């Protein structure tokens, strides 16, 4: 049977007729036992409260750890997604630049062809003009030839 401090306080011993225990001495020992017992009970309650508080703190820190792990995981996923998007954007920029460059090359080639065509056209017109001028000069010489021969003969 477990005694409580109250049980120990109210505990009475039977007296024996011949030479029993000294009542004062027994009471003194019981008082000391009661004090120690009360102190142990208080200490036990304090320790239980401290354990409960520490368990709450552990639970709190476990929640924080879990939140941090989730946050870290989300940050890693977000960084991977940003990285993927960046690579995709870079590829798109490169493709657009290549398309623009090809378009510029095509336009430049068209311009070169246009200039070549204009050059050939001007060359043909120059040749035609030269032929007309030469023909005109020759006809003018033919007209002037009899006049010059006449003046020389005179």
Token pair, residue 147, equals 């006049």
Q: Average pLDDT of the chain?
A: 90
The Cα 137–Cα 135 span in angstroms is 5
Confidence at residue 35, expressed as pLDDT on a 0 to 100 scale: 87
Contacts of 30 (CB under 8 A, 6+ apart): 8, 9, 11
Q: CA angle 144-146-149, nearest 5°?
A: 105
Token pair, residue 89, equals 């954007």
What tens digit of pLDDT does each residue of 106-152 get? 999 999 999 999 999 999 999 999 999 999 999 998 888 888 888 88
Q: Is the pLDDT of residue 1 over 60?
A: no
């Amino acid at each position: 049977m477990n005694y409580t401090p109250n049980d120990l306080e109210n505990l009475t011993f039977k007296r024996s007729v011949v030479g029993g225990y000294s009542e004062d001495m027994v009471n003194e020992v019981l008082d000391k036992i009661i004090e120690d017992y009360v102190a142990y009970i208080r200490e036990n309650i304090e320790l239980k409260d401290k354990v409960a508080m520490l368990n709450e703190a552990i639970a709190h820190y476990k929640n924080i750890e879990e939140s941090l792990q989730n946050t870290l995981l989300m940050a890693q996923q977000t960084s991977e997604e940003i990285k993927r998007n960046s690579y995709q954007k870079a590829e798109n920029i490169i493709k657009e630049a290549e398309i623009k460059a090809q378009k510029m090359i095509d336009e430049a080639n068209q311009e070169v062809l246009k200039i070549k065509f204009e050059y050939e056209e001007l060359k043909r017109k120059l040749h035609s003009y030269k032929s007309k001028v030469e023909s005109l000069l020759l006809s003018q010489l033919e007209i002037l030839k009899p006049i010059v021969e006449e003046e020389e003969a005179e």
